[in-house]
């Protein structure tokens, strides 16, 4: 697999989402945005940026297919994250509309951990594109 513009967009959005996610989670609004220590503007700005990046990563993933790994029509098991991202974002914003901040927080934390950290760790495996770049080309290992 080569670094195409589509893969570059996907990779940039995913890496940026990994980086900005903790900012959105750290600056969470809480129940009362006026309490000391709460950062509502930062939380909202970082949150919307993170959601946008996750949508870009998920939508671009639909068009990235890999016929070398176990697949169905070029879609590998990691593509299951696409509907998970869409569904989780829907649930998180529905919870907000209903005033269920606790559920919103749980869904967003779960999505960050599963879609950014766990899936991100799998992309660093030596047989994956990004893993090959990191381990073989950049670090000269393996």
Q: How confident is the model at residue 109 (pLDDT cuts 50, 70, 90)?
A: very high
- The per-residue pLDDT for 71 is 85
The string of DSSP letters for the chain reads ----HHHHHHHHHHHHHHHHHHHHHHT---S-TTSTT--HHHHHHHHHHHHHHHHHHHHHHHT---SSSS-BTTB-GGGGHHHHHHHHHHHHHHHHHTT-HHHHHHHHHHHIIIIIIIHHHHHTSTTSHHHHIIIIIIS---
Q: Give the pLDDT confidence score for residue 5 in this predicted structure.
A: 95
In this prediction, residue 37 carries a pLDDT of 58
pLDDT value, residue 129: 81
Name the pLDDT band for 139 (thresholds 50, 70, 90): confident
Q: Using one digit for the tens of pLDDT, what is the confidence trace for 31-88? A: 555 556 567 889 999 999 999 999 999 999 999 988 887 889 988 888 999 999 999 9
């Amino acid at each position: 697999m080569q670094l195409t513009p589509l893969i570059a967009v996907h990779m940039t959005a995913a890496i940026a989402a990994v980086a900005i996610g903790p900012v959105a989670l750290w600056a969470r609004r809480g129940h009362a945005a006026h309490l000391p220590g709460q950062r509502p503007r930062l939380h909202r700005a970082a949150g919307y940026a993170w959601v946008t990046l996750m949508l870009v990563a998920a939508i671009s993933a639909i068009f990235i297919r890999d016929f070398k790994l176990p697949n169905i029509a070029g879609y590998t098991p990691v593509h299951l994250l696409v509907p998970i991202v869409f569904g989780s974002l829907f649930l998180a914003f529905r919870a907000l509309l209903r005033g269920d901040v606790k559920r919103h927080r749980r869904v967003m934390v779960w999505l960050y951990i599963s879609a950014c950290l766990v899936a991100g760790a799998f992309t660093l495996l030596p047989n994956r594109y990004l893993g090959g770049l990191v381990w073989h080309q950049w670090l000269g290992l393996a």
